[in-house]
Structure 1
């Protein structure tokens, strides 16, 4: 039987996980978690109507599984594991879900894994909040202990979000009431079930990129259920020889994986999106539109647009085949339409507009030396627009709207986001129910608010 040695990295995380509860969470962390849960569930509802979300829902509908958890926006019920797969995929189907300061999209994995498990167990709202906070604590620490998103990509060719499967396993195991040994087993089992090569970013559409988050959510749910059934894993899968940190960790990875547990909460670094675009595009769009409004110009007056950002951010969005993670495509849309509206899909229709092509070819992206020095892994941008009359204007945005370093979003902010994205949907009920989620003795009625709307076909 797997033994827990409190001196190991895995044991430290597992024992911490087993002792977490809602009552011990600071008030501001509880509130942030509720905002995150609302935003990620709404992102899943939104993405369920997108190609990746529809395909994932169609796939799980074809599987024979107990109807214990909801597939968002379909009314279909399936196992917690399959629901997490479909909902996690839908959650990242169209770049509207949250990001994080360590990089990636933890919520699409962590929230949908925990929600599916909580619904299947009829867990309380307080327990769901605690599980989501725990999942962020584990997943984001492991990515940080491996040097962050870009080190995992550049050195090992790995999509860092796969480590959120380990966080999801811890969160789901906590919802199942497993002890530290069981949680350690679940984390070990999750490492066998999740991985992702960064070749996925070369796809033309946003299918594999979304599916990975669903796969990681499903892996976390499945690993927790396997641990509950008695399956075991190596005692210290994180710190063991040939374990996670031995494979990918930094020299100080063991310390980074556990430091600040219970005081520095990973969910604090969560970033909210208010545009349907890859996160490095947001600051540039905000800066460019501020210039246009301040100078009262329209797109016809633009002669050139120079965008500077840190090198890592630039690589994510420079000339990408996927429109919604391509800065040139999305900034051209923003300048042409005076913004990127959440309720509108611009591609492929906008590509036939000659004005779009003219604006796009005037956009140049470069590495900004100041941002590179000051925030090499940041999401800031400096935009300079030259106008046809010979004047120029520059605007720098260090942190786009919704970034954790810019300030906490409010319930009104998220209500406005989802009213814009999903007009005619019961978003006010989502907001009011999420705001009092800790009072729910059973999360199922809350999750049912995100139920049937679209057919599976």
Structure 2
């Protein structure tokens, strides 16, 4: 039924409502050589970190379940740690869950998004299938990242903190659509349609927190898959609304109680939001990193037996001390990775930078669990500027105070390429041969010279 003219008119975009089309033109038309040096440096680190995170996430039992969904979906695309290839859609899902599912990938926190798990797998799958070169791959990753960061920033953190959605799940399909669409060579009109289609695929609830349910591990990877499929559908002539971001019933207005559509295009091409991603050092929630780093330094330098620690009190910011992160005795490994008390106990007991420390064995280690029960979290801003949290340890009646401010990957202690390569080696160990990991690192370092990005894809494959 056609709505009354007055109603139809009220839904029609104004002349100023061009955010979706403007962003699509930017993604379609920006050349690799136009990327500023700081963007190139950041994106190279991001790509290396994406590969590292994929290796970290690949060897876990839930990945078998994801792989089994598409056992008959043959195609040319590689998957982390798997010998066989798969269709582009199946690979985007598998690799997206691998990259984004084990809490090692980098977020863009102001936009509540995880571009690594959303953009990179979709671009890699599209790029392998289309045999694009390294520059085209790099540009697609960079522009997909920037599009997603801007959409997340425009939606604001209110999507998650007020409306109650899981932000990275809700916006991931946009990143996959813009990144894969660019890799496929879609023009601005087709990219607009790809975004329009992706807008109907946003979803994700944070109800997983209480039980530590595995759905969280799927969120961003599913968005990457749906984003890739949105681009493929647009390539085949399926249309989507050209005002999917800014329209009255568009993404920003429906999902956010405080949208800022102007941020989609503000400073576009001059200010690159992607340079604000935060790199992780530990497989746990980003907001915990200052605390875990301070405790890790203490553990390495003090020689204190964790069993001798009588109590731990953490005073920190609103985000890290949220009730959903304060569960002392998580039931699952996912729950442990998003539990500040348990992550604190682990960091006092084991090397938190090692992926192997975050395991079911540690989850059931009574020494870690007993210590986690002695960790109290207090929502209280520290009095010292630049300090994210204060950690007070009580050992033999003595109070030891640690100031938590930075971590490896923080702006004050950024990753170099060599640092990120070391992270990749650590996570790739046991998944692929060392020589294969070295070739991958060299490939990312010289990605501009690669004539077919499928060469990189083959280097993530396992032997079985």
TM-score between the two structures when normalised by the length of structure 1: 0.89
Contact preservation (8 Å) 1:287, 1:381: no
CA distance in 1, matches of 2:32, 2:358: 42
Query: Alignment length, in residue pairs?
Result: 440
Question: Which residue is equivalent to 1:144?
Answer: 153
Question: Which residue is equivalent to 1:80?
Answer: 88
Tell me whether 1:193 sits opposite 2:201 in the alignment. yes
Report Cα offsets for 1:158-204 as digits up to 9, x if no partner. Answer: 11112121122111111222221111100000111231122233443
DSSP 3-state at the match of 1:188:
helix
Question: Which residue is equivalent to 2:356?
Answer: 344
Question: Which residue is equivalent to 2:326?
Answer: 318
CA distance in 2, matches of 1:250, 1:141: 17
Contact preservation (8 Å) 1:73, 1:450: yes
CA distance in 2, matches of 1:264, 1:402: 21
CA distance in 1, matches of 2:68, 2:359: 24
Matches within 5 A, 1:271-350: 271-315=278-322, 316-319=324-327, 320-321=330-331, 322-337=335-350, 339-350=351-362
Instruction: Quote how far apart the aligned CAs of 1:157 are.
Output: 2.3
Question: Which residue is equivalent to 1:110?
Answer: 119
Match of 1:422 among 425, 428, 443: 428
Tell me whether 1:36 sits opposite 2:46 in the alignment. yes
Q: 1:345 to 1:19 in 2, by over 3 A?
A: same
Matches within 5 A, 1:140-289: 140-148=149-157, 151-161=158-168, 162-205=170-213, 207-249=214-256, 253-289=260-296
CA distance in 2, matches of 1:191, 1:412: 38
DSSP 3-state at the match of 2:356:
coil
Tell me whether 225-234 or 26-35 shows the greater mean CA deviation.
26-35
Q: 1:71 to 1:420 in 2, by over 3 A?
A: closer
Contact preservation (8 Å) 1:385, 1:393: yes
Report Cα offsets for 1:344-385 as digits up to 9, x if no partner. Answer: 2454333554432332222111112238x978xxx9332111
Instruction: Quote how far apart the aligned CAs of 1:248 are.
Output: 3.0
TM-score between the two structures when normalised by the length of structure 2: 0.88
**RMSD of aligned residue pairs (Cα, Å):** 2.4
Instruction: Quote how far apart the aligned CAs of 1:243 are.
Output: 1.2
Contact preservation (8 Å) 2:283, 2:355: no
Contact preservation (8 Å) 2:172, 2:202: no
Contact preservation (8 Å) 2:163, 2:257: no
Contact preservation (8 Å) 2:135, 2:447: yes
CA distance in 1, matches of 2:18, 2:385: 35
Match of 1:436 among 442, 446, 452: 446
Question: Which residue is equivalent to 1:366?
Answer: 378
DSSP 3-state at the match of 1:111:
helix
User: Please, which runs of 5 or more residues in structure 2 have no aligned partner?
Assistant: 1-12
Instruction: Quote how far apart the aligned CAs of 1:76 are.
Output: 2.0
Instruction: Quote how far apart the aligned CAs of 1:10 are.
Output: 0.8
CA distance in 1, matches of 2:131, 2:114: 26
Match of 1:380 among 385, 388, 411: 388
Q: 1:7 to 1:157 in 2, by over 3 A?
A: closer
User: Please, which runs of 5 or more residues in structure 1 have no aligned partner?
Assistant: none
Report Cα offsets for 1:290-348 as digits up to 9, x if no partner. Answer: 334454433233222111221122225211541121122222122122x2242424543
DSSP 3-state at the match of 1:384:
strand
Instruction: Quote how far apart the aligned CAs of 1:104 are.
Output: 4.0
Report Cα offsets for 1:389-434 as digits up to 9, x if no partner. Answer: x33222222232213x234311221222233333353322221111
Instruction: Quote how far apart the aligned CAs of 1:111 are.
Output: 0.7
Q: 1:291 to 1:157 in 2, by over 3 A?
A: same
Q: 1:27 to 1:154 in 2, by over 3 A?
A: closer
Q: 1:5 to 1:173 in 2, by over 3 A?
A: farther
Tell me whether 312-321 or 440-449 shows the greater mean CA deviation.
312-321
Match of 1:27 among 34, 37, 41: 37
